[in-house]
Amino acid sequence: MQLNIKDHVAVVTGGASGIGLAVARGFAAEGARVAIWDLAKNVTTAAADLASECGVATCGIATDICDEAQVLDAAAATARELGPIDHVVHCAAIGSGKFGFPFTNLQPSDWRATLEVNIMGTVHVAHAVAEPMKQRKSGTIVFISSVAGQIGSQTDPPYSASKAAVINFAQCTAKDLAPHGIRVNSVCPGMVQTPLNRGVWQAWNEQQPPDQQRSYEDWAEEKIKAVVPLGQWQTPEDIADMVVFLSSNRAAHVTGQTINVDGGFVMHW
């Protein structure tokens, strides 16, 4: 299937590792020019490696999505280096780092950083890219949310609540931007072995009595068998495939949707 996004410009926040890097690689493999916005120290080398691997123009921009001015500067720098932004995939997010079952395991102060990054960071990105897209009457935005935002996962309530907000915000922006030819969707990964997922296990494991603690591998295998009908982990590449498709004209009539890539974890009847 030809996605016809060669020479388009794609921005991937949180693109220096994990799902974000897989998304960036997915765009580059289709011939798109890719900007990675990330706070990670390897942001410039990740972009350079991608350029070498796929033979496309890239740039890596150190960006704190909690800082509105930095996000605006990153958008302007991307446009100068690569051209007007066609696609944005917002992957950058954090968890609270604490096991939240019951929610009273956490203090209200434990919520602030997660909400700031995951909600206000999303708002900053959307504001930075929406106006230029509106002027061009085209563009796509994909927010990476989570199945945790749909099922009220008790593992990390701040993370779950923030991802529910991302899903809702995607629908709000999809309605607002549709008259300008801009599509907005959210993609919800299920069980993906990323540093964030390992952090969830770590927070859980530390709360268990010593005789009930499990290795990450044992915990993960048991959880997959219990909650995922297809019985397999999803990979970052699985998420990337969906994101790149949604960003292409092959999904020209898909907007305001919440699409799960989760092996059947969440099924709405």
Amino acid at 71: V
Active site residues: 159
The secondary structure of 48-79 as a DSSP string is: HHHHHHH---EEEEE--TT-HHHHHHHHHHHH
pTM: 0.94
- Summary mean pLDDT of the chain: 95
pLDDT digits (tens, 9 = 90+) for 69-101: 999 999 999 999 999 999 999 999 999 988 888
Residue 66 reports pLDDT greater than 70: yes
- Residue 248 has φ and ψ, to the nearest 5°, of -95, 165
Cβ-proximal residues to 187 (8 Å cutoff; 6+ apart), any chain: 142, 143, 144, 145, 239, 242, 243, 246, 258, 259, 260, 261
Residue 268 has pLDDT above 80, yes or no: no
pLDDT digits (tens, 9 = 90+) for 221-244: 888 889 899 999 999 999 999 999
Rounded to whole angstroms, how far apart are CA atoms 56 and 238?
A: 22
Identify the band that residue 269 occupies on the pLDDT scale cut at 50, 70 and 90. low
- CATH 3.40.50.720 describes domain 9-191+235-261: yes
Torsion of CA 96, 169, 183, 61, to 10 degrees: -40
Enclosing H/E stretch for 11: strand 9-13
Q: For 209-224, write each residue's pLDDT tens digit.
A: 888 898 988 888 888 8
Per domain, the residue ranges of the chain are 9-191+235-261
**Which range, of 84-88, 201-205, 255-259, averages the lowest pLDDT?**
201-205
Quick one: tokens of 93?
């997010």
